[in-house]
Amino acid sequence: MSTTFMQSVGLAAAMLASTSVFAADSEHIERGRYLATAGDCVACHTAPGGKPMAGGLALASPLGPIYSTNITPSKVHGIGNYTLEQFSDALRHGKRADGANLYPAMPYTEYAKTSDEDIAAMYAYFMHGVEAVDAAPAHTTALPFPFNIRASLGVWNALFHDATPYQADASQTPEWNRGAYLSQGLAHCTTCHTPRTTLMAEDSKRSLSGGEVGGWYAPNITSDAQSGIGNWTVQELVQYMSGQPVSGKGPAAGPMAEAVDHSLKHLTPEDLKAIAVYIKSVPAVGDGRVKQGADQFGQPVDALHSIRGVDLPRITTP
CB within 8 Å of 315: residues ≥ 6 apart: 37, 42, 46, 52, 53, 130, 262
Contact between 274 and ligand HEC per CB under 6 A: no
CA distance 72 to 55: 9
Kindly tell me which residue out of 54, 90, 124, 130 binds ligand HEC, with binding defined by CB under 6 A: 90
Kindly tell me which residue out of 46, 69, 88, 223 binds ligand HEC, with binding defined by CB under 6 A: 69
Q: What angle do CA 191, 105, 52 make, to 5 degrees?
A: 100
Contact between 294 and ligand HEC per CB under 6 A: yes
Q: How far is the CB of 10 from ligand HEC (least distance, A)?
A: 40
Q: What per-residue string of b and e applies to 122-151 under the rule 16 or more CB within 10 Å gives b?
A: bbbbbbebbebbebbbeeebeeeeebeebe
Segment 243-251 long-range contacts (CB within 8 Å, at least 24 positions apart): 248/295, 248/300, 249/295, 249/300, 250/295, 250/300, 250/301, 250/302, 251/300, 251/302, 251/304
Contact between 45 and ligand HEC per CB under 6 A: yes
Contact between 188 and ligand HEC per CB under 6 A: yes
CA distance 84 to 90: 10
Stretch that binds ligand HEC, among 131-139, 182-190, 280-288, 309-317 (CB under 6 A): 182-190
Stretch that binds ligand HEC, among 20-28, 168-176, 199-207, 289-297 (CB under 6 A): 289-297
Closest CB to ligand HEC among residues 86, 172: 86
Kindly tell me which residue out of 29, 43, 119, 238 binds ligand HEC, with binding defined by CB under 6 A: 43
Residues of span 2-41 touching ligand HEC by CB under 6 A: 36, 39-41
The number of angstroms, rounded, from the C-alpha of 62 to the middle of its chain's C-alpha atoms is 22
Kindly tell me which residue out of 46, 52, 56, 68 binds ligand HEC, with binding defined by CB under 6 A: 68
Give the chain's largest Cα–Cα span.
Answer: 87
Closest CB to ligand HEC among residues 12, 314: 314
Kindly tell me which residue out of 103, 113, 262, 315 binds ligand HEC, with binding defined by CB under 6 A: 103
Residues that bind ligand HEC (CB under 6 A): 36, 39-41, 43-45, 59, 66, 68-69, 71, 79, 87, 90-91, 96-97, 102-103, 105-107, 111, 122, 141, 183, 187-189, 191-193, 213, 216, 218-219, 221, 229, 237, 240, 250, 252-256, 259, 264, 275, 279, 293-295
